[in-house]
Amino acid sequence: MRLLRVRGLSVSLGGRRVLEGVDLAIAPGEIVTIVGPNGSGKSTLLRALIGAVPAAAGIIERQSGLRMGYVPQKLALDSSLPLKVRHFLDLPRPVSPGERARALDEAGAGGLEERQLAALSGGQLQRVLLARALLGRPQLLLLDEATQGLDQPAAANFYRRIEALRNRTGAAILMVSHELHVVMSASDRVICLNGHVCCAGKPEQVASAPEYRALFGTGTGGALALYRHEHDHAHEHEHHHPHGHDRPHAHEHHHDHHGEHAP
Amino acid sequence: MSLLLAPFMLRAALAATGVALAAAPLGAFVVWRRMAYFGDAISHGAMLGVALALAASLPVFWGVLAVTLVLALAVAALAGRGVPVDTLLGVAAHGALALGLVAVSFVPGVRIDLMAYLFGDVLAVGGADLALIWAGVALLLGLVAWRWRALLLSAVDEDLAIASGLSPRRERLTLMLALALLVAFSLKVVGALLISALLILPAAAARPLARGPGRMVAIAMGIGAASALGGLALAALADSPAAPSIVSLATLAFLLTHGLDSLRR
* pLDDT, tens digit (0-9, with 9 covering 90-100), for B227-260: 999 999 999 999 999 999 999 999 999 999 999 9
- Residue B264 inside a domain? The answer is no
pLDDT one-digit tens code per residue, A188-200: 999 989 999 988 8
A50–B204 CB contact, under 8 Å = no
Most confident among A146-160, B39-53, B233-247 (mean pLDDT) = B233-247
For A117, B68, B178, B211, the CA distances from B29, given in Å and listed in that order, are 17, 18, 11, 16
* Rounded average pLDDT over B206-233: 96
| Partners of A141 in the β-ladder | A69, A173
Look at residues A186, A192, A171 and name the one whose alpha carbon lies nearest to residue A42: A192
* Domains identified in chain B, total number: 1
Least confident of A142-146, A181-185, B41-45, B234-238: A181-185
pLDDT band at A238 (very low <50, low <70, confident <90, very high): very low
- The predicted structure's pLDDT at residue A247: 43
Q: Burial, A149: exposed, middle or buried (Cβ in 10 Å; 0-12, 13-18, 19+)? A: middle
ipTM: 0.85
Q: Which domain holds residue B144?
A: 2-259
User: Cis ω on the peptide bond leading into residue A92 (within 30° of 0)?
Assistant: yes
Distance (Å) from the alpha carbon of A136 to chain B's nearest alpha carbon:
9
| Rounded Cα–Cα distance for residues B77 and A99 (Å) | 39
Nearest CA in chain B to A44: B159
Average pLDDT for residues A234-261, to the nearest whole number? 40
CA–CA min distance A78, chain B (Å): 6
Average pLDDT over residues A164-171: 92
pTM to 2 decimals? 0.85
Interface of A with B (CB under 8 A): 14, 47, 50-52, 68-70, 72, 75-78, 80-84, 87-88, 90-94, 116, 132, 136, 142
Sheet holding A4-13, edge to edge: A16-26, A4-13, A57-62
Among candidate residues B194, B172, B173, the one with its CA nearest the CA of residue B43: B194
Alpha-carbon span B26 to A222, nearest angstrom: 54
CB < 8 Å to B163, chain A: 50-52, 68-70, 142
Give the CATH number of the domain where residue B127 resides: 1.10.3470.10
Neighbouring residues of A4: CB distance < 8 A, sequence distance ≥ 6: A24, A25, A26, A49, A60, A61, A62, A63, A66, A140, A174
On the CB side of A188, CA atoms within 13 Å amount to: 15
Mean pLDDT of A158-185: 85
Contact B149 A93 (CB under 8 A): yes
How many helices (H) and strands (E) chain A has is answered by 10, 9
CA dist., res. A44 & res. B174, Å (int)? 27
Report, as an integer, the average pLDDT of B215-230: 97
> How many Cβ atoms from other residues are within 10 Å of residue A58's Cβ?
17
Q: What are the extents of the domains in chain A? A: 4-67+139-261, 74-137
Chain B interface residues (partner A, CB cutoff 8 A): 31-34, 82, 149-150, 152-153, 155-166, 204, 207, 210-213, 215-216
Beta bridge partners of A25: A5
pLDDT at A220 over 80: no
Contacts of A52 in chain B (CB under 8 A): 158-159, 162-163
Helix (H, G, I), strand (E, B) or coil at A34: strand
**Is the Cβ pair B32, A69 closer than 8 Å?**
no
Where are the extended beta strands (E) located within chain A?
A: 4-13, 16-26, 31-35, 57-62, 68-71, 140-144, 172-176, 189-193, 197-201
- Residue of B82, B158, B165 lying closest to A76 (CB–CB): B158
Question: Comparing C-alpha atoms, which of A25, A53, A26, A34 is closest to residue A195?
Answer: A34
**Residues A68, B163: C-beta atoms closer than 8 Å:** yes
CATH architecture of A4-67+139-261: 3-Layer(aba) Sandwich (3.40)
